[in-house]
Chains A and B, each alone.
Chain A
Amino acid sequence: MGRAAIELRQVAADVAKIPDAGLFAAAKLVKRVADDAARATVSGGDMSGKHRRPIKLRARDKSIRPIDHGRAILITGVPAGPWVWVTSGTAPHTIRRRKRGPMRKMTVHHPGTRGRDAWTIVIDRSTELVPLIFRDLVDRAI
């Protein structure tokens, strides 16, 4: 085999490694972006849940799966409900009164929230940054 052919095959082998390496780095990046977006949306990235238990907004990835001519990875915001709330907002609803006493089970009206497009921010930011990762890997391979 000639020298040029060997070098081309080496490049092809390096290019073949890009999908897995790029998806792995992209998943880490998206999760970090999700953490930043959560912190920017709610104080400290935690929502106050029932019994004052904090709800941490974060992102989780599934393992890399094969697809036609490539690979793919799915990143999901967890827990899903709070992410929807901070993204789309909530309709008016009633909530329990949070005080002790004979009237502790009384419900009160909550006017709802407008939503702060938290996950939309994650998507926009990831759409901007993830291609840079793959571009960098391609530059290194070639």
Chain B
Amino acid sequence: MAGNDPKIQIDITARDEATDKLEDVAATVDKLEEASPEVTVGADTSAAETGLRDVADAAGRLSHDDTELVIKAQIDQAKGQLKELQSQLEATGDKAIDTSEKLDKVDGGGGSGLRGNAIADLTGPLGDASGAASDFAGVFDGLGDAAEAAAGKLGLSEDIAGKLGSALGGLGVAVAAGAAIWTLWSQHAEAARKKARELAEAQAAVGEAIRDGNREAALSNFHKAYDEAIAAAEKFGLKQQDVIGFITGETEALPGLTDKYNELKTARDNTADPRMRGLADERIKAFEDETAALETNRQKYKDSTAAAGDKKDAEDKLARQLGFTEDAQKDTTKAVGDSVAKLDAAKQSTLDLEDGYRRLQDRLSTTRAIEDFQTAMQEAQTAIHDKSEDTKVDLRGVEDAIIAAGEAAKLNPIDVQTAIQKADQGDIDGAYLFLQQKINEKGPLTVPVTLHATIPKLVIAGRGGTQMVIELDPTKAAAPPPAAAAPSHVTINMPAGSRGVDVVRQVAGQARRSGRRFGAPVVSYARR
């Protein structure tokens, strides 16, 4: 049969022996990866280890008691520096405002553009930083006072209050310092948390001590006041515990009191001897007096309990005040942390302002050089026009103006030489136009002032104590704006019969056109 004729058959076979081998290789690789081979990399880590040890030492010092004193002393020094910084910032801000006003006057009062774009932006952070510096210093002023005031409210002696104020102040500063670098160095933050915990425990201990002291005093006074009554009651066979319970109001009656009284009366009645009878009467009289004294003491204790309750309320109030003090310290900590960021922004703004002044100075010098050039050229043209010839002096002035303008505009020396040659040949107009064209090609002179964020870096320096230094990242040059792409024009000849305006599809050759008669290879399934 012709259909089975091998002459007109093609049998394509695809054998796949790679997949199994790849699976085997993958399994082998999987085993190798599970083995977790160790790779030893040789490197000199001594410098890094030394740095880590320094950091660890610094962290250890921060948690040491002496560190509080060091930090407190440094804070006093920092307060003075902050005040100085505040005045400097205010002076810089005033200088910036004054400068911007002068610039406005230079431009005829219409505004220079610089003020709106750069200097006005700079004065804002300067003002904020000045306020931050004031807040920062005020925080330290109020911290110690608040601590001592809180201690005074505890009713402690002046000496103890001073010590407690010092401790609270030192701890507060430690908390503030730790919070300021919270995001920069976690170990400092850990030390600060430790100090905060110690502070809380100390406050709790003080409150507990006050309460314990009151309890011991009350117990001592109780024995002092009721010892005689208790001792007298014991003479009549009453238990001390029962007597104390009756006085303190825990029990409403003394067990055995009535029985004892009846026993005394029975003993008197049963005695016939007048002397013994008189003695029994005295015992009964003493027992009655003792009973009345117990009742009196019971009433006194009841009255004193109310006073003790009032005292306890006062203690609770003091405890709440201590809580308020702790919250205030937390707020202070946050304020200090915020102030550090503002100070960073202020310092960066100052750097940017200085950079802006420098660029402004460059711009003014360049502009003036070009203006001088234009003036010299115009004067030379006028002189030549009046004299009908150019003098040697005029030409030298023109040459100097060309060189000065070319140098200021940073033109190619070849262009400058070309302009000078044109002037030497008497073509003053040509030299003027040529050089002006080259200056224009350099583009308009701009003063790029860019405010960019920098990352503060913490540096731990010195062995004598912990010093917090915020080191700003070196000023990064502002990236030049990307040059605008030159416009390109492309002429697209649309094929005949094309539909719509989908140029992309037409150019990409994916369009359906109106039939094979165009002979395009992109036509598929076209109707005949």
Contacts and interface: CB of A to CB of B under 8 A. Distances in A.
Nearest to B23: A12
Interface stretch (B5-13, B75-83, B458-466, B484-492): B5-13
Contacts of B26: 5-6, 8-9, 12
Interface stretch (B27-35, B290-298, B346-354, B361-369): B27-35
A74 interface: yes
Nearest to A4: B29
Interface stretch (B14-22, B156-164, B314-322, B410-418): B14-22
Interface stretch (A40-48, A63-71, A92-100, A102-110): A63-71
A75 B14 contact: no
Interface string B31-47: 01110000000000000
Contacts, number: 106
Contact of B11 (A1, A72, A77, A78): A72
The SS class assigned to the B binding surface is: helix
Contact of B13 (A6, A71, A81): A71
B497 interface: no
B477 interface: no
Contacts of B11: 72-75
B10 A5 contact: no
B48 interface: no
A29 to B, nearest CB: 10
B9 A77 contact: yes
Contacts of B2: 79-81, 84
Contact of B12 (A15, A87, A130): A130
Interface in B387-407: none
Interface in A99-142: 119, 122-123, 126, 130, 134
A16 interface: yes
Contacts of B13: 67, 70-72
A12 B12 contact: no
Interface residues on B, range: 20 to 34
A98 B14 CA distance: 49
Contacts of A71: 13-14, 16
Given A30-B10, A74-B11, A84-B2, A19 B16 contact: yes
Given A15-B22, A78-B3, A80-B3, A72 B33 contact: no
Nearest to A33: B10
Contact of B30 (A1, A16, A67, A134): A1
B29 A84 contact: no
A84 B5 contact: yes
A78 B12 CA distance: 17
B15 A70 contact: yes
B25 interface: yes
Contacts of A50: none
A76 B8 contact: yes
Nearest to B15: A70
Nearest to A1: B30
A2 B3 contact: no
A74 to B, nearest CB: 5
Contacts of B23: 9, 12
A15 B8 contact: no
A76 B27 contact: no
A69 B7 contact: no
Interface of A: 1-6, 8-9, 11-13, 15-16, 18-19, 22-23, 26-27, 30, 67-81, 83-84, 87-88, 119, 122-123, 126, 130, 134
- Which 10 A/B pairs are nearest by Cβ-Cβ distance? A2-B33, A70-B15, A12-B22, A5-B30, A8-B26, A80-B2, A19-B14, A77-B8, A72-B13, A16-B19
21 contacts: A1-B33, A3-B33, A9-B22, A9-B23, A15-B19, A15-B22, A22-B14, A26-B12, A69-B17, A76-B10, A78-B3, A79-B2, A80-B2, A80-B8, A84-B2, A84-B5, A84-B8, A87-B8, A88-B7, A119-B8, A130-B12
Given A76-B3, A80-B3, A87-B8, 17 more contacts: A5-B26, A12-B26, A19-B15, A69-B17, A71-B14, A72-B11, A74-B11, A74-B12, A75-B9, A75-B12, A76-B9, A78-B3, A80-B2, A84-B5, A88-B7, A122-B10, A126-B12
